[in-house]
Amino acid sequence: MDIEIKDVCKVFRTDSVQTQALNNVSLKVKDGEFVAIMGPSGCGKSTLLNILGLLDNPTSGEYLLDGEEVGHLKESQRTEWRKGRIGFIFQSFNLIEEMNVRDNIMLPLNNLKLSRDEKNRRVDDAMKRMGISHRANHYPSQLSGGQQQRVAIARAIVGKPGLILADEPTGNLDSRNGVEVMDLLTELHRDGATIVMVTHSQKDAGCADYIINLFDGRIVENLADRM
Ligand code: ADP
Ligand code: MG
């Protein structure tokens, strides 16, 4: 999926405080590219990823997805747009505790016009790919962090999205699980997905085609100069 944002600003207002989380960010990601976003805590990485994932709107600026302006959609329209097209991997996994692994992964398919058989087949495929088939009936609290992250990734890819967004996907994992998660993302990239990943790890960022450095809400050339 082709991504283009132009002069995007995001301002958060809470009571008396105003935070400019993004300041004139412009960025192009071509279909099939794997991009890593790096930068210090609080510089706007998650804000940018949430906007790219249609979880939030920019305050101003444009967002084109495959040439279509999507930066100012209503929440219900954003939800509709995301379905089957964008998979989001959250840092904190965001699994539903009351649902077992199978039902968590099924969630993005619930409103898609697919037969029951096709939905089950897709969930089975996603679980197999992530190596968690044997945990299908387990609940999130019964899983290790690495397994929970695999469920979160299975849920992100089950709709076969063209765009995968990942917010620090290895941030809550030990190094072995982190390496496995990066191998999975690399494989999804090889299969043609466009991927934008926020990371703190220079090693993880090495899996990407290129790195975008964010500092204080702006894209900067060289982060090392700022630190
Ligand atoms: P990062 O992911 O790089 O650590 P964030 O994008 O989460 O940074 O946050 C960027 C800035 O915006 C921070 O100053 C943060 O406190 C602020 N911010 C993020 N989300 C909100 C929100 N929903 N309401 C108010 N301020 C927010
Ligand atoms: Mg963040």
Task: Output the pLDDT for position 225.
Answer: 60
Distance, in Å, from the CA atom of 227 to the CA atom of 225, rounded to the nearest integer, reads 6
Work out the pLDDT band at 227, boundaries 50, 70, 90.
low
Listed range (34-43, 84-93, 114-123, 206-215) with the worst mean pLDDT:
84-93
pLDDT value for 15: 87
Per-chain mean pLDDT for the chain: 94
> pLDDT for 66-86, tens place per residue?
999 999 999 999 998 998 899
Q: Which residue CA neighbors atom 16 of ligand 1 most closely? A: 42
Task: Answer whether 199 contacts ligand 1 (Cβ < 6 A).
Answer: no
> With a 6 A CB cut-off, is 45 part of the ligand 1 pocket?
yes
The pLDDT value given to residue 71: 96
Question: What is the largest distance, in Å, between two alpha-carbon atoms of the chain?
Answer: 54
Q: What is the percentage of the chain residues whose pLDDT exceeds 90?
A: 84
Give the pLDDT of residue 83.
86
Please name which ligand lies nearest the alpha carbon of 218: 1
Cβ atoms 49, 167 nearer than 8 A:
yes
Query: What Rg value do the Cα atoms of the chain yield, rounded?
Result: 17
C-beta 41 within 6 A of ligand 1 = yes
pLDDT band at 92 (very low <50, low <70, confident <90, very high): confident
- Give distance in angstroms: CA of 47 to centre of ligand 2: 7
Closest CA to 181 of 150, 223, 222, 145: 150
Please state the pTM of the whole predicted model.
0.93
- Region for residue 86 given its phi and psi (left: phi exceeds 0; alpha: psi -120 to 50; beta: otherwise): beta
* Mean pLDDT across 208-226: 87
226 confidence band (pLDDT: 50, 70, 90) = low
Residue whose CA is closest, atom 27 of ligand 1?
12
**Contacts for 129-133: CB closer than 8 Å, 24+ residues apart:** 129/154, 129/157, 129/184, 130/154, 130/184, 132/101
Give the count of beta carbons closer than 10 Å to the beta carbon of residue 203: 12
